[in-house]
A and B are shown apart, each in its own frame.
Chain A
Amino acid sequence: MITLELLQLEFMQRAFIAGIFLAPLLAVLGSFVTLRRMSFFADGIAHASLLGVALSILVGVAPFGGALIIGVVFGVLIFLLERYTSIASDAVIGIIFTTGLALGIILISLQSGYQPDLISFLFGNILAITWSNVWMIGILSAGILSTVILMFKKFTLTSLSEELAWTSGISTTYVNLLFYVLLSVAVVLGVKLLGIILVSALLITPPVTAKLVTGSFRSYVMASVVFSLIAFIGGLFASYYLDLPSGASIVMSASTIFIAVLLYTKILKKS
C-alpha cells in the first residue's frame, strides 16, 4: 500500500525508473573500478563535470547535456595524460578535477542570482529529473551495459593485468579508452541522481560490500548489482518517508548495508 502510494507520485516514478537503470550500471562499472583502483577517477569526473553545468547555464541550454560532454572530454584527457606522460595517475586526476571545478566556479560566479540547476547537480535532486532525463538515462544506461556485457572478458582481463591482456591479443589502449569513456558517461548520469559530491559512493560501496561475501567474479558482479538496487530503493523510501535529501539517503543506505555485511562477516569469521 505504502509502495503504491509512493509510486503514484510522478516525480517518484521518474526517480524510480532512473534509479532502476542507474544502480545496476554503476554497480557493474564499479566492479571494475574497484579492481582497477580507479575510485578517484570517478570523483574527478564528477567534480570536473561542474564545468559542463556552468557552460550550459551560461549559454542557456540544459545542463545535463553539457555535463555529459565535458565529463567525456575530461575522461579522455585523463586517459591521454596517464598513457602518454610519466605523470602519476592520481596527480593527473587531481589536476583535471580541480581545473574543471575551478573553471566551473569562475563561470558560475559570472551569473547573478540563485542557480537551482547548480544546487541539484552538487547534491542530486530527484525532483529535478525530467522525463527527457529519464529517457536519456535509460537509453545510455542500456547502451553502456550492453557494451560492458559484450566486452566483459576484455574488461576483466585488462583490469587484472594489462600485460596479460596485451599478449592475449587485446588492444589494451582501445579497451581502456572505451572503459574511460563509458565510465565518464555513467558517472555524469549518476550525478543527476546523487549529485557531484556523492555519486562515487554508489560506484564503490556496493562492489566493496559484494567483495566481502563472494568467491567468484560472476557472483561478485551480481551481488554488487543486488546491493546497489537495495541501497537505491531503500534510500529512496527513506528519503520520501523521513523527508531527507534523496542522494544522501541512497548513499547512507549503501553505507548501512556495507557496515552490516562487514560486521556479519567479521562475526562469522570469529564464530
Chain B
Amino acid sequence: MNALEINDVSFEYVKDISVIDNVSFSIPEKATTILIGPNGSGKTTLLKIMIGLLEPTSGTVRVYGKKPKDMRNNIGYVPQKLYFDKTFPITVMEFLKLADTSSEDEILSILESVGANNLAPSRIGELSGGQLQRILIARSLLGKPKILFLDEPVSGIDISGEQNFYDLIKDIQEKYGVTVVMVSHEVNVVSQIANQVICINKEMLCSGEPSEALLPEVIEQLYGKNVSLYKHQCK
C-alpha cells in the first residue's frame, strides 16, 4: 500500500510563476523516502503541500487515501527550524505535554528512544540545534503517527552529529514501523538510509530506488556540472 500519492501537483506563490511544476509520485508504506534537490528547488514547499500546510495550485495529494488536512492526527512533522523566543520559559517536558494527552512516563520513554531522556527539565531555548531536533522528533512520535515528515533535519547539527542523527532516524523507522519522508539537499544521505529517492528541481527529475534512480546525469541536472565533475575526479 502507498502511504502517500501525489498526482499532477503544481504550486505558485505568485501567479504564473511555478515553484512546483506538475509533479506526480507515490511513497510506499513503512519505508524511508528522501526528497533531494538543490536549495530553492521547491522541496520544502512540496513537503508543506504533502502535510497540508499549503494547498496545491492544481493536482491532488492523498495521505493513506485521505486529504492531508484530514490525516493530521496520523502525521508527524519535524520542521527545518523552530522559530520561537529563545528566552521563553518552557521546559522540554511542558513542551511535549502540549502535543497530546501522553503521560509523563510515556513522554520519558519516547525521550529515551531519541536519546534525550536527560533533557526533560531543560528549557527548550537552552538546547543546542541537535538536541532541539531530537526533542522535535520525540514530539512528532508522541501522537503515534503513521507517517513522519522531516524537513532538512540535520541543518542545525554539526558534521559529527549527522551520522548519529541518521542512525536515529533508521532506528525510529524500524522500531515504530513508521513511514519516513525526509527532505534534504545532501545527496550523500540517500545511500545511508533511503529505500526510495525522489529528485526535485521544480519538476520531478527522478524517482525510485537510489541505486537505479540517482544516475550521474540526474545529479548533474540537479546540482550542475561542477558537482558531477568533482565526483568523477574523485573516482
A residues sitting closer than 8 Å to B (CB atoms) are: 34-35, 37, 153, 156-157, 160-161, 163-164, 166-169, 211, 214-220
Check: B73 CB closer than 8 A to any chain A CB: yes
Complex CA–CA separation, A98 to B232 (angstroms): 64
Check: B103 CB closer than 8 A to any chain A CB: no
Verify A160–B51 contact, CB threshold 8 A. no
Instruction: State which of B53, B89, B143 has its C-beta within 8 Å of the C-beta of A220.
Output: B89
Instruction: State which of B79, B85, B91, B100 has its C-beta within 8 Å of the C-beta of A215.
Output: B91
Interface residues contributed by chain B, number (CB under 8 Å) = 27
Complex CA–CA separation, A169 to B75 (angstroms): 9
B174 to chain A minimum Cβ distance, whole angstroms, is 23
Verify B98–A153 contact, CB threshold 8 A. yes
Check: B227 CB closer than 8 A to any chain A CB: no
Instruction: State which of B52, B82, B94 has its C-beta within 8 Å of the C-beta of A216.
Output: B94
Residue of B whose beta carbon sits closest to that of A156: B98
Verify A160–B84 contact, CB threshold 8 A. yes
Verify A166–B82 contact, CB threshold 8 A. no
12 cross-chain CB contacts under 8 A: A37-B85, A153-B98, A157-B98, A160-B88, A163-B53, A163-B77, A167-B51, A167-B53, A214-B89, A216-B89, A217-B89, A220-B89
B residues sitting closer than 8 Å to A (CB atoms) are: 51-53, 72-73, 75-77, 79, 82-85, 87-91, 94-95, 97-100, 123, 139, 143
Q: Which residues of chain B have C-beta atoms less than 8 A from A216's C-beta?
A: 89-91, 94, 123
Verify B79–A168 contact, CB threshold 8 A. no
Verify A219–B89 contact, CB threshold 8 A. yes
From known contacts A167-B77, A168-B143, infer whether A215 and B89 are also in contact, taking CB-CB under 8 Å: yes
From known contacts A37-B85, A215-B123, A216-B90, infer whether A166 and B98 are also in contact, taking CB-CB under 8 Å: no
Verify B72–A169 contact, CB threshold 8 A. yes
Verify B53–A166 contact, CB threshold 8 A. yes
Complex CA–CA separation, A215 to B88 (angstroms): 8
**Inter-chain pairs besides A169-B72, A216-B90, A220-B89, 8 sampled, C-beta below 8 Å:** A153-B98, A160-B82, A161-B82, A163-B79, A166-B53, A167-B53, A215-B89, A218-B94
Verify B53–A161 contact, CB threshold 8 A. no
- Pick the 6 closest A-B CB pairs, nearest first: A167-B77, A217-B90, A157-B98, A169-B72, A220-B89, A214-B89
Residue of A whose beta carbon sits closest to that of B123: A215
How would you classify the secondary structure of chain B's contact residues: helix, strand, loop or mixed? loop
Complex CA–CA separation, A217 to B82 (angstroms): 18
From known contacts A164-B79, A166-B53, A168-B99, infer whether A211 and B72 are also in contact, taking CB-CB under 8 Å: no
Verify A211–B89 contact, CB threshold 8 A. yes
A118 to chain B minimum Cβ distance, whole angstroms, is 37
Q: Which residues of chain A have C-beta atoms less than 8 A from B73's C-beta?
A: 169
Complex CA–CA separation, A146 to B5 (angstroms): 43
Verify B94–A217 contact, CB threshold 8 A. yes
Verify B53–A168 contact, CB threshold 8 A. no
From known contacts A166-B72, A217-B94, infer whether A35 and B51 are also in contact, taking CB-CB under 8 Å: no
Verify B87–A211 contact, CB threshold 8 A. yes
Verify A161–B79 contact, CB threshold 8 A. yes
Verify A161–B84 contact, CB threshold 8 A. yes
Verify A164–B83 contact, CB threshold 8 A. no
Instruction: State which of B52, B77, B90, B91 has its C-beta within 8 Å of the C-beta of A164.
Output: B77
Complex CA–CA separation, A214 to B84 (angstroms): 17
Complex CA–CA separation, A168 to B139 (angstroms): 10
Complex CA–CA separation, A220 to B52 (angstroms): 33
Verify A35–B99 contact, CB threshold 8 A. no
Q: Which residues of chain B have C-beta atoms less than 8 A from A160's C-beta?
A: 82, 84, 88, 90, 95, 98
Interface centre among A35, A153, A168, A220 (most CB of B within 10 A): A168
Residue of B whose beta carbon sits closest to that of A217: B90
